[in-house]
Amino acid sequence: MPETSDQREQRLEKLTALRAAGVEPYPARFSCTHSVAQALHVFTSSEGSAESPVVRTAGRIMSIRVMGKASFAHIMDGSGRIQIYIRQDEVGEQAYEFFLKMFDLGDFIGVEGPLFRTRTGEITIRVQSFQMLAKALRPLPEKWHGLTDVELRYRQRYLDLLANERVRRTFITRTRIVSAIRRFLDERGFLEVETPILQPIYGGAAARPFVTHHNALDCDFYLRISDELYLKRLIIGGLERVYEIGRDFRNEGISTKHNPEFTQIEVYQAYADYHEMMRLTEELWSTVAHEVLGTTTITYQGHEINLTPPWRRWPMREAIKEATGIDIAIHTDLESLRQQIQERRLELDIKPTWGKQIEELFKEYVEPNLIQPTFILDYPLDISPLAKKKPDAPGLVERFEFFIGGLECGNAFSELNDPLEQRERFEMQWQQLQEGDAEAHPMDEDWIRAMEYGMPPTGGLGFGIDRMTMLFTDNPSIREVILFPALKPKSGE
RNA sequence: GAGCCGUUAGCUCAGGAUGGUAGAGCACCUGCCUUUUAAGCAGGGAGUCGCGCGUUCGAGUCGCGCACGGCUCACCA
């Protein structure tokens, strides 16, 4: 083998040599009797009996230690990692030489042989025969430090998953969370449904959409910013408990808490109100935590957080009053609210409406301190065009958001089901759109028409699966819980 | 969009204030080694120092611009 500098070149030469020797480096199949985890288990449970079990298993070579006429290696499959032991006198001189010359870290190998325990106590396969299952042409990340370069980890997530056990666990947990949510809702009679991602009018949230074009129809579509208005059409249609887990798209800045595409669940239940949705929320989160993590206490960024119901219910009015001294039930117009902010010398951006100003006040002075699970109740009407008015509370709606670990996790309300009022709300939004608010809700005549056929009282809830996963896996950035987070393409690629 | 920081071998990182032949560990190649496990020992190969322009006799190092990334802020139900 000529010496070349490039490891890929060297491996390509091995590939050629394999084929020249009549060995297919990418065979179609290899039948295993055991996964790696099963092999370990079968040995443990048979230890002490006369015959040691023979297994046939496969995996990726993660380390090799050559000691002359015998070698050790570790192989890894999806279930775990096991050591293999290859001896020249066991497999023959030629086969042993073949192993040394042709196999590299990263290659997939199939092995067969009895299990034993080494002098240091590690369960090991004593290889009697082995086979190349797939040749790797590029070297793996470093075995000790793994892969730490954040950009490489995101752009080549497969390497991150290979090298970093914690990352693997995070994404397995994410999948289990979603399964547990489905189980929870299915058991309670909710139907999982699918609604359009390409929508002629976007809505259900305040956000700027992505626009795309349909060639055959020659018209623009928006990628949905939420599922809300379609799911509520299903409520009108008599599907009284529905949910959807799916991707939403918002054309906004990227941060540790925002990815332009993210996964949200939305749940709607006829004849429920927002109090009912609070009970559903705390029940769901604590049940899922218990199923996935085995506990309802999580640790997030150094905070111990208890998800056991009931969670704190805190009206926004009281929260703001406690944090700033301002009573929004007294200062019910923008002018007097601003005056209060000025008098108290609060550092705050100026917002164009009463509701937005309150929201700003809340975000600045209350939200960062909401570590234990908290429902914040009763939001300003002008930032909630789809929620039902709260009786005897002018300017407020029956809406809550919930916060855990300082993260805004979800949003819910008693759904507005009065079609005439819905029209007025949209007209208010249209006014804000005229005044330059790019996130104001667009008028949706088709939605109003649907509601005019009669919509039962309904509770609706939405929350982010990504942020839930962040909390459950103690990750501070949303990119750590999305397999392939949005990144700018490198120029030239 | 703004500020700060980062980008050196396949990977993890030194070097950079003070400009003068580009370094380490892992990985790779050669040799020795039949219970090792971050195996060991001896030897060896490997670089567009992110890209471009400039200053200089000379730039990984200094200056300017650009790209990508991270954090903070802005934006964001």
Hey, what amino acid is at A438?
Answer: A
How much is the average pLDDT of A102-111?
Answer: 97
Closest nucleotide to the alpha carbon of A68, via C1' = B33
pLDDT of A434 reads 84
C-alpha distances in Å from residue A466, one per residue of A93, A256, A264: 53, 11, 8
Q: What percentage of residues in chain A have a pLDDT greater than 70?
A: 98
| CA–CA gap between residue A222 and residue A441 (Å, rounded) | 13
How much is the average pLDDT of A474-493?
Answer: 86
User: pLDDT category, A3, cuts 50, 70, 90?
Assistant: very low
Q: What is the pLDDT of residues A220-264, one digit of tens each?
A: 999 999 999 999 999 999 999 999 999 999 998 899 999 999 999
Residue A233: CB less than 7 A from any atom in strand B: no
Residue A342 main-chain phi, psi, to 5 deg: -65, -45
Using a 7 Å CB cutoff, list residues 305-364 of A near strand B.
349, 363
Residue A143: CB less than 7 A from any atom in strand B: yes
Long-range contacts from A75-78, C-beta under 8 angstroms, 24+ separation:
A75/A36, A75/A109, A75/A111, A76/A36, A77/A35, A77/A36, A78/A35
Structure-model confidence comparison of residues A4 and A159, the more confident one: A159
Residue A216 main-chain phi, psi, to 5 deg: -65, -40
How much is the average pLDDT of A395-419?
Answer: 96
Q: Point out the residue nearest to B46 (C-alpha to C1').
A: A5
Taking each helix axis from N to C end, the angle separating A165-187 and A465-473, rounded to the nearest 10 degrees, works out to 130
Residue A69: CB less than 7 A from any atom in strand B: yes
Q: Point out the residue nearest to B38 (C-alpha to C1').
A: A144
pLDDT of A9 reads 92
Work out whether the CA dihedral A38, A41, A45, A48 comes out positive or negative. Answer: positive
How much is the average pLDDT of A169-186?
Answer: 97
Q: What percentage of residues in chain A have a pLDDT greater than 90?
A: 89
Q: State yes or no: pLDDT of A464 exceeds 80.
A: yes
Q: Coil, strand or helix: which one is A349?
A: coil
Question: What is the 3-state secondary structure of A61-85?
Answer: EEEEEECCCEEEEEEEECCEEEEEE
ipTM for the assembly = 0.92
Residue A199: CB less than 7 A from any atom in strand B: no
How much is the average pLDDT of A355-370?
Answer: 92
Q: State yes or no: pLDDT of A5 exceeds 60.
A: no
| Cβ A207 vs Cβ A446: under 8 Å | no
Residue A276: CB less than 7 A from any atom in strand B: no
Length of chain A: 493
Q: State yes or no: pLDDT of A491 exceeds 70.
A: no
Find and list the nucleotides of strand B having atoms within 7 Å of a protein beta carbon.
Answer: 1, 6, 10-13, 25-30, 32-40, 44-47, 67-77
Q: What is the pLDDT of residues A33-76, one digit of tens each?
A: 999 999 999 999 988 777 889 999 999 999 999 999 999 999 99
| CA–CA gap between residue A470 and residue A177 (Å, rounded) | 11
pLDDT of A489 reads 84
pLDDT of A493 reads 44
Structure-model confidence comparison of residues A452 and A52, the more confident one: A452
- Quickly tell me which residue has 């090799």 as its tokens: A64
Query: Which has the minimum average pLDDT: A141-145, A187-191, A230-234, A413-417?
Result: A141-145
Q: State yes or no: pLDDT of A2 exceeds 50.
A: no
Q: Point out the residue nearest to B73 (C-alpha to C1').
A: A255
Q: What is the pLDDT of residues A313-341, one digit of tens each?
A: 999 999 999 999 999 999 999 999 999 99
pLDDT of A412 reads 97
Closest nucleotide to the alpha carbon of A205, via C1' = B77
User: pLDDT category, A24, cuts 50, 70, 90?
Assistant: very high
pLDDT of A253 reads 87
- Indicate the average pLDDT of chain A: 94
Q: Point out the residue nearest to B13 (C-alpha to C1').
A: A145
